[in-house]
Amino acid sequence: MIIGLDLDGVIIDHTQNKIKKAKELGYFIKANETPSGKLKKLISLTDYRLIQKFIYNEGTSSAKPMEGVLKAVKNLSKNHQIVIVSRRAKESRKIALDWLEKHGFLNYIKRKNIYFVKSDPDKNMVAKHLKTNLYIDDKLKVLRSLKDVPVKILFDYFNVVRRTNKEIKKIKNWQMLSSASKIKSFLTVNSQVFKISE
């Protein structure tokens, strides 16, 4: 099976950097207010863009991995091909690759399986080309646009999304998807069952 992952907010945890940059801009936000959908409602669009620019560039190097993500990627890569499909500007792509190497992800995800796209809708084209079976993203809007991916999972670390639809499953942490036995519950979609190896 081919498992696709978003990078920022799924693998990289930008929570502390968002709080730090928001404070520099005069905002005092809590960790559960850092997901993009919530943050956009709390600050000006100009300041939101400054925070995004910071986290995708110099902030990336100090960001930590999401709790449990490296172990989950290691376990899943034993039986599945892991790909990353991330929207990042050209100038921040090397920073992302350096971060992945620094934190050991390139031991389990081949460099050739990391794709950067210009816009979120481009993720569907890449996922379709790769025949991605399952994709994890932290943005509901992105998952809704992945028409060619059978299994879509929202990574909702702070449990801020109250409802998804029956086609989009939801996890709050990597422990919920860290092994073949745990992934089985996500693999029945439209009466199609994807076979996986233990």
Give pLDDT tens digits for 105-142. 999 999 999 999 998 889 999 999 999 999 999 999 99
User: Does residue 34 fall inside a structural domain?
Assistant: yes
69 and 37 within one domain: no
Please tell me the pTM assigned to this model.
0.91
Residue 166 belongs to a domain with what CATH number? 3.40.50.1000
39 and 7 within one domain: no
Place of tokens 């929207």: 87
For Cα atoms 103, 109, 16, give the angle at the middle one, nearest 5 degrees: 35
74 and 51 within one domain: no
Question: Last residue of a domain, which of 39, 62, 85?
Answer: 62
158 and 104 within one domain: yes
**Number of separate domains in the chain:** 2
Range of 150's domain?
2-12+64-193
Q: What is the pLDDT of residue 174?
A: 92
Average pLDDT over residues 36-50: 95
